[in-house]
Amino acid sequence: MLSRKATLNLHGQDNSYFLGWEEYEKNPYDDHHNPTGIIQMGLAENQLSFDIIESWLATNPHTTGFHRNGNSLFKELALFQDYRGLPAFKSELADLMAEIRENKVVFDPGRLVLTAGSTSANEILMFCLAEPGEAFLLPTPYYPGFDRDLKWRPGVEIVPIHCSSSNEFRITKSALEEAYRHAESRNLSVKGVLVTNPSNPLGTSLSRGELNHLISFAIAKEIHLVSDEIYSGTVFDSPRFISLTQAVIDRNLKDTDLWGRIHIIYSLSKDLGLPGFRVGTIYSNNETLLAAATKMSSFGLVSSQTQHLLSCILADKKFRRSYININKKRIKRRKEILVAGLLSAGIRCLKSNAGLFCWADMRHLLSANTLEAEMELWKKILYQVGLNISPGSSCHCTEPGWFRICFANMPEEAISLSLKRIKAFVDGIRTSHRRLGQSLVL
């Protein structure tokens, strides 16, 4: 006899976002061994700047050998460490977060809770902020993993804030109020709003106006604001990134009740391209929450060896600044390659300034304006074209025909092949429509 969580399919992995990964794993593209296989464009992973970090490691071998001043640190790192984390690492992490925000926000290392990635950070926050059955509002489209992170173990309900392509999916006051009313109609107690800034899957950072809408809404409803800012270091174009914390400070709200209801999620998975290191963090000014979250973090700690290595890397300020700047330029260049290639195939993308993906508009390729038609198109792209991209419905987008396409997790040659495949597919649809005497609006 097993528990209800073990026996019921409540994890959210039946989502097409995860199903596409499964199909890719059955038939992965390899330029030598499987050139007709599926190319993985559903993984928001940054592989563009490994060479920079590897070069630094090659010139600083003492860090991977766990030595300091010629003395071994192995025993020190191998023995039990305080689960609050190594002070040196937390200090460097707080400094990095401030630098990414142009030092307009100062982070106290003592208010950082280290977690095994942002997944763990989001789940811990939900355990601290809400009871099972209470709700958080999330603007759509949103990262499909939130259905797992917020709902599976914490039991939090997600109520969508419906955003529209008519204003480039920006958050509006009316959308916030409508979502709140919808939660009330379901007898759900709303505990807060969670946003990703910059957005996954849109690749856009929140505007000053959107942040002010959120802040005013949180004040009026006396609820929490959680900002997942794991892509903050990927902002490669204007407008510049504005952290939720900065927006609150700019409105002189630091000494109000709201200050204790502002919580930031960060990790090194996207900005430094280190998801396998499992480094995430919660930042909050709520002392009770910090105490509880720190205790909960003991179920998913970041290893002392990982913290030591990363503290050495981040302590090299000159290297760190150089990495961030070069990485942003590489992300921008790769994004421009994808956008231009898609446009030549007749597919436009939402204008973006951040992230490791594009939000592509394929509504004109649908056989009908329905979610069923979107799934039909997705399956053709997955099985016939050989590309795993994420359909908008997997991100809870209510407008059929939008897709998230990742571009930073593969060599440039694979991007070129992907664009050739998608162009041939769209050209085939054009030809088919001509034969039927129909027109394809591009």
> What amino acid positions are annotated as catalytic residues?
143, 228, 230, 270
Q: Which of 404, 199, 232, 416 is nearest to 328 (CA)?
A: 232
Residue 368 sits at the vertex; the CA angle it makes with 167 and 441, to the nearest 5 degrees, is 65
* C-alpha Rg value of the chain to the nearest Å: 22
Residue 218: strand, helix, or coil: helix
Give Cα 270 to chain centroid, integer Å. 8
* Nearest-10 Cα torsion for 299, 304, 307, 311: 150
Closest alpha carbon to 117 in 311, 272, 302: 302
**Under DSSP, is residue 429 helix (H, G, I), strand (E, B) or coil?**
helix
Residue 114, beta-bridge partner list? 281
Instruction: Give residue for tokens 């928001």.
Output: 44
Question: Partners of 226 in the beta sheet?
Answer: 194, 263
Q: Let me know: does 389 contact 375? Beta carbons within 8 Å.
A: no
User: How many other β-carbons are positioned within 10 Å of the β-carbon of residue 55?
Assistant: 11
Q: How far apart are CA 205 and CA 207, in angstroms?
A: 6
Q: Tell me whether residue 31 is exposed, middle or buried, using C-beta atoms within 10 angstroms of its C-beta: 0 to 12, 13 to 18, 19 or more.
A: exposed
Extract the tokens encoding 270: 């996207």
User: By the 8 A CB rule, do 156 and 126 touch?
Assistant: yes
